[in-house]
Amino acid sequence: MGTAFVAGRFYPRHNQPAQMAAADAQAGERVLLVAVGDYLERSQMVLIELTNANPKGSMDITAEQERAGDLVTETRLYRQTAARTGDTRITGVLDELERVLVDITHAPSNMTPGQLEELRQRLEAEGILFKIRVLGSNVRNQEVAAPPRQTL
């Protein structure tokens, strides 16, 4: 019985590495989808707060700038991961979003109503909020449709 056990342990199993690689790829994609979905919601909140602001005078956006700065770091990580997995759709939107977040981070901390209006017009012209909503919806749909991880 000991010989059979040892032989079974070292007998080559051709399908197992391929199955494990496929399961790891699926798990990695699901983790990316969940993380990107959460990230897109947080990014959208920062942009919505700025676009919906209607100050009478200058507005302090320090808190939004700090959140945007934190999101820039995440953007780069998710964009690189999406690029490695070949997801050009996510990569493209994250690239556009990163530029907007970097600009917000480097904007004056006290924005005048005119500067806020310029930002609103830019966001509207680029359609970044719309793109984030569509991508977020697609990501959530993929999360739901993704098959559960199979145990080997």
How do residues 84-133 score in pLDDT, each as one tens digit?
A: 888 898 899 999 999 999 999 999 999 999 999 999 999 999 999 999 99
**CA–CA dist 106, 61 (Å, integer):** 11
**CA–CA dist 65, 81 (Å, integer):** 24
Q: Is the pTM of this model over 0.75?
A: no
Type of residue numbered 68: A
State the CB neighbour count (10 A cutoff) for residue 1: 5
**CA–CA dist 71, 73 (Å, integer):** 5
Higher pLDDT residue, 12 or 61? 61
Type of residue numbered 119: L
The first and second tokens of residue 66, run together, are 């700090």
Q: What is the DSSP letter of 127?
A: T
H or E element that contains 72: helix 62-85
**Percent of the chain, pLDDT > 90?**
43
pLDDT grade, residue 54 (50/70/90)? Answer: confident
Between β-strands 110-111 and 59-60, what pairing exists: parallel, antiparallel or unpaired? antiparallel
C-alpha pair distances (Å), 69 with each of 29, 100, 146: 25, 11, 31
Where are the chain's structural domains? 24-145
The first and second tokens of residue 123, run together, are 């966001």
